[in-house]
Structure 1
Amino acid sequence: MGQPTVQAASGSSAVNLTPLKRNHALLDPAQLSDMAEEAAHDLMSEGESSNTRASYRTAMRYWAAWFGARYGRQMDLPVPVPVVVQFIVDHAERSTKAGLVCQLPAEIDAALVEGGFKGRLGAPALNTLMHRISVLSMAHHLAKQPNPCTDSAVKALLSKTRKAYAKRNATPHKQRALTKEPLEAVLDTCDDSLKGKRDRALLLFAWSSGGRRRSEVSEAVFENLRRVDEGGYLYTVANSKTNHTGKVKPEDVKPVVGMAAEAMDAWLKASGITSGPLFRRINKAGRLGEDALTGTAIRDIVKARCSLAGVGDDFSAHSLRSGFVTEAGRQNMPLQETMAMTGHRSMDVVTGYFRAGAAQVSAVARMMDRTKPTGR
């Protein structure tokens, strides 16, 4: 009997891989894909954005591929606790005399890369590891299966893993916040071309209306934009991460005013858009299309404009959201008003960015710089 082969993750073509061991075969990705799709079905039916659904699908496909490579059979729910522990030690780096290492065998690592289940050899970022554990946990919860990710052994190992990374100053990476100053430099790259006017309107709309998520920008439509007498607009966010019902509440209405309104005026006049998607593809010939920009395209616009402005290459679409909150903290804006604009429900999420901004202008941090009081 011949050694097993593995298809590319897309399932479009076969790729012959070096067998890991004669008694340790990788599964066929066609089977893995079916299993992963089933496991992720409940996750993807929760009304999340297309980007979030894609991340769930990718995480479950990776789990299935890794499990098949490690154990030589198809993964089913519930996943045993020892398997989750093995997954963590396979993917978390630990310090040894030889340097940082993880437990994943090199043969399996190479096979997962060649199969298209991961982008490069080596340990993933800590954020990626935590995301994959979180997705597996949600899959068990929604399937009403015993959840191995809540086991005390798993929770203790994850806690120690975070602490180990923190000791090495390898805390989870966050995209830089695009605050007012770098955003102004980015806006300066937007010329009077159709694409320049679109990008300027998009960036200011996303930032100034509360740091909109890229899915919300992608789904923005003309019909939800209403001009107001004061010289601006009100935009209704009909569908968001915190509102999957489409039922509009007062807090879903966001102001688009000042520079953002001026940029929107210029874009609508130049594009002639009177219905449908607000932000659309523009082809190489400069012609406006009918289709909305995807979340990926919006991310690419942010990164490309930041690169043009020379402000750095570690910004992404989320930088608009975190930048809005960070700048609000820096300018000492009320936290509740900031959260009303962003739509954050969790204080824990928003206060991290808010306090980071406030800390940069903290008078307490500059006590050594203060002039000594006179008359004493």
Structure 2
Amino acid sequence: MMPLTLQAALPALDPRMLDTQADAAVRDLMREGSSANTAASYRAAIRYWTAWFELRYGEPFALPLPETAVIQFVVDHAQRSTEHGLKWELPLALDQELVRLKAKGKLGPPSLNTLLQRLSVLSKAHELHGHPNPCRGARMRELVAKTRRAYARRGVAPAKKVALTREPLQALLATCDDSLRGVRDRALLLFAWASGGRRRSEVARATVENTPRTADGFLFSLGQSKTNQAGTTRANDQKPIVGMAAQALDAWLRASGIAQGPLFRRVRRGDVVGEPLAAAALRDIVQERCKLAGLQGDFSAHSLRSGFVTEAGRQNVPLGDTMALTGHASVATVMGYFRAGAAAQSRAARLLDEPDSGPR
């Protein structure tokens, strides 16, 4: 075969590096393929790294960072026990400046969750840009592992949102009156919970078209999700909306007059149905309804998901049936919630309550 010669028409590329146009295209694809919430959290983390690094070292933030700088970041933000109580190394003046620059919301050490998330974002940034990763070094991995252990010994673990199991969910539903907004919120909460604890981005993508009516209620076709980023067709993508959830969704569609497009939308003054709800709106609705119901605790949209799995454990639903609805890819992830729900129902926890019918 004769070799192709296009040099006259196209400039030859160096196969060892991306040209400017290709590099920009990669960034566009990465941005488009990430959820809005993920992209926003990454931007916030990098903004914080940039502000902290430039204030701490007096020079511009640029990748790759040396491992020593990342270690300094950990000790600046992780609390440790001393004879004088808990201590961290971030100077107060620097902390105040970070708040003034709005790189952080308030003074004081971040939660363990926040610290670990910022390290994770920095690690991914290095790997995506092809740099040596300072977060993967043996010293750093040991420091992070021991930091986790230190927090755990103090009774502090990475925070999880409070689960909305059956009883607290019913309390939320009781706050949903017959107003158009109340009808919408009831339908939204039941849709998200009863279909397997849908993520807020998944709820925002629910439409009339991908949630057709069936003889039993509705059938939501999930499509793309956190564990199916490519949106490939899978057997468990069909999520039934039946019973109370179907009745509530039907009531919302009839009251709102929605016949096509997104299911859940804003309700404006005068009961005007507006634009589709953003994913973040689900968090706001959950928190508002929790407040109206008088529930105490740290609730979020994820509380619906964890609540569904925990309740399934309480009611001894087989794990496989639960995962078929939730779409969890990891058994280990779902088992944490599942076992928490099942533990209170375990016979082993109630040995003293059982009648003693054995031989004496």
Q: Normalization by structure 1: what TM-score? A: 0.86
One-letter amino acid of the counterpart of residue 292, structure 1:
P
Secondary structure of residue in 2 paired with 1:246: coil
Distance 2:28 2:352 in 1: 56
Q: 1:345 aligned to 2:329?
A: yes
Distance 2:27 2:70 in 1: 21
Contact 1:42 1:139 in 2 (8 A): no
Q: 1:22 maps to what in 2?
A: none
Secondary structure of residue in 2 paired with 1:235: strand
Q: 2:272 maps to what in 1?
A: 287
User: Which of 183, 191, 200 pairs up with 2:177?
Assistant: 191
Secondary structure of residue in 1 paired with 2:46: helix
Task: Provide structure 1 residue ranges, at least 5 long, that are not aligned to the other structure.
Answer: 1-37
Contact 1:222 1:277 in 2 (8 A): yes
CA pair 220-128 structure 1, distance change in 2 beyond 3 A: same
Contact 1:326 1:353 in 2 (8 A): yes
Q: 1:216 aligned to 2:202?
A: yes
Distance 2:328 2:179 in 1: 35
Q: 2:150 maps to what in 1?
A: 164
One-letter amino acid of the counterpart of residue 248, structure 1:
T
Q: 1:180 maps to what in 2?
A: 166
Contact 2:163 2:310 in 1 (8 A): yes
CA deviation after TM superposition for structure 1 residue 244, in Å? 2.3
User: Which of 227, 231, 244 pairs up with 2:229?
Assistant: 244
CA deviation map 1:146-183 (0-9, x unaligned): 11111111111111111111111111211100001110
Percent identical residues = 58
CA pair 123-78 structure 1, distance change in 2 beyond 3 A: same
Secondary structure of residue in 1 paired with 2:266: strand
CA deviation after TM superposition for structure 1 residue 98, in Å? 2.4
Give the RMSD, CA atoms, in angstroms.
1.7
Q: Greater CA deviation, 156-165 or 44-53? A: 44-53
CA deviation after TM superposition for structure 1 residue 89, in Å? 0.4
User: Which of 240, 243, 249 pairs up with 1:258?
Assistant: 243
Contact 2:162 2:297 in 1 (8 A): no
Secondary structure of residue in 2 paired with 1:222: coil
Q: 2:220 maps to what in 1?
A: 235
Q: 1:307 maps to what in 2?
A: 291
Q: 1:200 maps to what in 2?
A: 186
User: Which of 65, 80, 99 pairs up with 2:66?
Assistant: 80
Contact 1:43 1:139 in 2 (8 A): no
User: Which of 111, 121, 127 pairs up with 1:141?
Assistant: 127
CA pair 148-371 structure 1, distance change in 2 beyond 3 A: same
Q: 1:366 aligned to 2:350?
A: yes
CA pair 43-52 structure 1, distance change in 2 beyond 3 A: farther
CA deviation map 1:271-297 (0-9, x unaligned): 0101111111112332110x2111222
Q: 1:47 aligned to 2:33?
A: yes
One-letter amino acid of the counterpart of residue 239, structure 1:
Q
Q: 1:316 aligned to 2:307?
A: no
CA deviation map 1:284-336 (0-9, x unaligned): 332110x2111222101001111111222421100000001111111111111
Secondary structure of residue in 2 paired with 1:227: coil
Distance 1:216 1:190 in 2: 22
Q: 2:92 maps to what in 1?
A: 106
Secondary structure of residue in 1 paired with 2:169: helix
One-letter amino acid of the counterpart of residue 298, structure 1:
L
Q: Greater CA deviation, 340-349 or 257-266? A: 340-349
CA deviation after TM superposition for structure 1 residue 375, in Å? 5.2
Contact 1:43 1:138 in 2 (8 A): no
One-letter amino acid of the counterpart of residue 222, structure 2:
V
One-letter amino acid of the counterpart of residue 103, structure 1:
E
CA deviation after TM superposition for structure 1 residue 337, in Å? 1.5
Distance 1:179 1:374 in 2: 36
One-letter amino acid of the counterpart of residue 285, structure 1:
G
Distance 2:110 2:29 in 1: 23
Q: 1:27 maps to what in 2?
A: none
Distance 1:342 1:46 in 2: 25
Secondary structure of residue in 2 paired with 1:223: coil
CA pair 262-105 structure 1, distance change in 2 beyond 3 A: same
User: Which of 67, 82, 93 pairs up with 1:96?
Assistant: 82
Which is higher, the Rg of structure 1 or of structure 2? 2
Distance 1:74 1:116 in 2: 18
One-letter amino acid of the counterpart of residue 197, structure 1:
V
Distance 1:357 1:144 in 2: 43
CA deviation after TM superposition for structure 1 residue 125, in Å? 0.5
Distance 2:71 2:28 in 1: 24
Distance 1:143 1:336 in 2: 39
Q: 1:23 maps to what in 2?
A: none
One-letter amino acid of the counterpart of residue 287, structure 1:
V
Q: 1:270 maps to what in 2?
A: 255
CA deviation after TM superposition for structure 1 residue 341, in Å? 0.7
